[in-house]
């Protein structure tokens, strides 16, 4: 042990242990950083992967509806859709009935890429949760949704 280390104070993490929000943040940061690497081979980020998934399962939806589903503001979705379109994974088509709006749909390649990316993501999630009982993982999701619902109710 060096002189510097000897003079160092042992850290008390009590304040952080009691701070649920910070533990949520730490876990989310791990998840996000990992996922970034997992999705990079597909040219996707967390938000574009999420958007593509919703579009694949709900072809024809509008950007405004998608933004609401993803819980992000409309302006923040634009560049994500630009990226997905540039990658050839989705199409934006004018709605004939309401020419202000677009219908979003996946290309065939978009469906394929999402399938592959989803498999990689699920493998990643399984690895992160390896050793966690299934019912604990279910509890995690239930409590996360409870927290999210509290926020949604307020806004």
Which of the choices DNA, its own copies, none does residue 63 contact, using the CB cut-off of 5 to 8 A by kind? DNA
Residue nearer to its own copies on the CB measure, 12 or 108: 12
Dihedral sign (CA 16, 20, 23, 24): negative
Q: Quick one: which of 97, 99, 108, 134 contacts its own copies (CB under 8 A)?
A: 97
DSSP letter assigned to residue 61: B
Q: Quick one: which of 44, 63, 66, 80 contacts its own copies (CB under 8 A)?
A: 66
Q: Is 4 in the site for DNA (CB under 7 A)?
A: yes
CA atoms within a 13 Å half-sphere pointing along the CA-CB vector of 85: 14
Cα-based distances in Å from 60 to 11, 26, 95, 98, 103: 54, 36, 9, 13, 5
**Distance between CA 84 and CA 51 in Å, rounded?**
9
Residue nearer to DNA on the CB measure, 37 or 57: 37
| Residue 69: alpha-carbon gap to chain centroid | 12
Residue nearer to DNA on the CB measure, 53 or 63: 63
CB 85 within 8 A of CB 140: no
Number of residues that bind its own copies (CB under 8 A): 78
Which of the choices DNA, its own copies, none does residue 112 contact, using the CB cut-off of 5 to 8 A by kind? none
**Distance between CA 40 and CA 63 in Å, rounded?**
23
The interface region with DNA, picked from 67-75, 111-119, 123-131, 133-141 by CB under 7 A, is 67-75
The interface region with its own copies, picked from 4-12, 76-84, 85-93 by CB under 8 A, is 4-12
Tokens standing for residue 85? 């379109």
Instruction: Sketch the per residue contact string, 73 through 112, with DNA: x for CB under 7 A, - otherwise.
Output: xxxxxx--x----------x----xxxxxx----------
Q: Which of residues 9-28 bind DNA (CB under 7 A)?
A: 25
């Amino acid at each position: 042990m060096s002189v510097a280390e000897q003079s160092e104070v042992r850290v008390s993490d009590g304040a952080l242990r009691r701070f649920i929000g910070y533990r949520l943040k730490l876990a989310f940061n791990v998840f996000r950083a990992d996922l970034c690497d997992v999705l990079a081979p597909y040219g996707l980020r967390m938000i574009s992967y999420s958007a593509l998934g919703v579009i694949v399962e709900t072809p024809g939806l509008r950007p405004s509806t998608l933004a609401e589903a993803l819980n992000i503001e409309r302006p923040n979705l634009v560049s994500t859709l630009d990226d997905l379109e540039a990658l050839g994974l989705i199409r934006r088509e004018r709605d004939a009935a309401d020419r202000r709006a677009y219908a979003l749909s996946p290309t065939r390649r978009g469906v394929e890429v999402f399938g592959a990316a989803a498999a990689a993501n699920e493998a990643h999630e399984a690895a992160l949760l390896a050793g966690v009982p299934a019912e604990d993982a279910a509890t995690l999701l239930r409590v996360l949704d409870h927290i999210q619902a509290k926020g949604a109710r307020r806004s």
